Amino acid sequence: MKKKLKKHVIIVTVLVILAVSLIPIPRYLKDGGTVEYNALLYSVHQVNSLNLDGGYNVGTRVRILFWKVFDNVHAV
């Protein structure tokens, strides 16, 4: 009976840690409308900001564990 309880506790603990590492926390920047969604394992940035040339930077960046997976931010 103790082995079964231990197994269930380990499974529940792993599921809680996995859920916490995958739930993003949104952050709204005051640079023109950029929104960052950051979790422990990944981050998504929806960029809409002013650049120094008087135009806008628009696009999306996706990073998974410090590696850039997708980046289509461009000046408009």
The structure tokens 């410090």 sit at: 66
Report residue 2's pLDDT band, with 50, 70 and 90 as the boundaries: confident
Rounded Cα gap, residues 62 and 11, in angstroms: 29
Residue-wise DSSP of 4-29: HHHHHHHHHHHHHHHHHHH--EEEE-
**Cβ within 8 Å of residue 24, ≥6 positions away:** 37, 38, 39, 42, 43, 44
pLDDT tens for 28-72 read 998 878 999 999 999 999 999 988 888 899 999 999 998 999 999
At 63, which amino acid appears?
A: R
pLDDT tens for 10-34 read 999 999 999 889 999 999 998 878 9
Q: Identify the pLDDT of residue 27.
A: 96
| pTM of the full structure | 0.76
Q: Residue 1: is its pLDDT beyond 90?
A: no
